[in-house]
Amino acid sequence: MGATTFTPDTERLLDSAEAFCVSRHQRLTEQRRQVLGLILDSPRPSGAYDLLDRMRVDGKPTAPPTVYRALEFLTAQGLVHKIERLSAFVGCAHMLQSASPCGHSHGHAQGIEAIQFLICTHCRRVFEITDDRIRTAIDAAAQAQGFRPAGATVEIEGTCAECLADAAAAQTQIS
């Protein structure tokens, strides 16, 4: 049974995620660690069956429920996010950008948790953003209706800057 080799950056994040889990009295088991590592090492969102296939190629006999349970744990801990539109998972950008993983809640002292993603329909990359104006607008719209939201995930489809530049360069070559 071979062990997955991750990039040094991913290994550092996995060690940090493990310490975070321990601080919450949770266990980042070997399978959870492997699933998180595969997600973090991927440049695009990973679906459950994609993860399952990658684990099997690595020589680890894994059943779908194992991957789903790992994803459920990682999501509950705030280490990954599910992109509903793609039915796939990405590592939390806040975890990736900070020295300590995901003790944040994407929310604020007042208002709802509002996670926001930009999804490129061309290259399928996903960018997590944090724009308090979006959260504030959701809060205001809900309050105007007498509604108390528990959370919100905003998924915006479009074209990323890199794909736009590639398309412009291709257009320039054609002209």
DSSP secondary structure, 36-66, as one string: HHHHHH-SS-B-HHHHHHHHHHTT----HHH
Helices (H), the chain: 8-23, 30-41, 48-57, 64-76, 93-97, 132-144, 161-174
Could you list the residues known to form a binding site for Zn(2+), using ranges.
120, 123, 160, 163
- Closest residue by Cα to residue 138 from 161, 160, 106: 106
- Closest residue by Cα to residue 97 from 75, 128, 126: 128
- Closest residue by Cα to residue 39 from 94, 76, 82, 97: 82
Could you list the residues known to form a binding site, using ranges.
120, 123, 160, 163
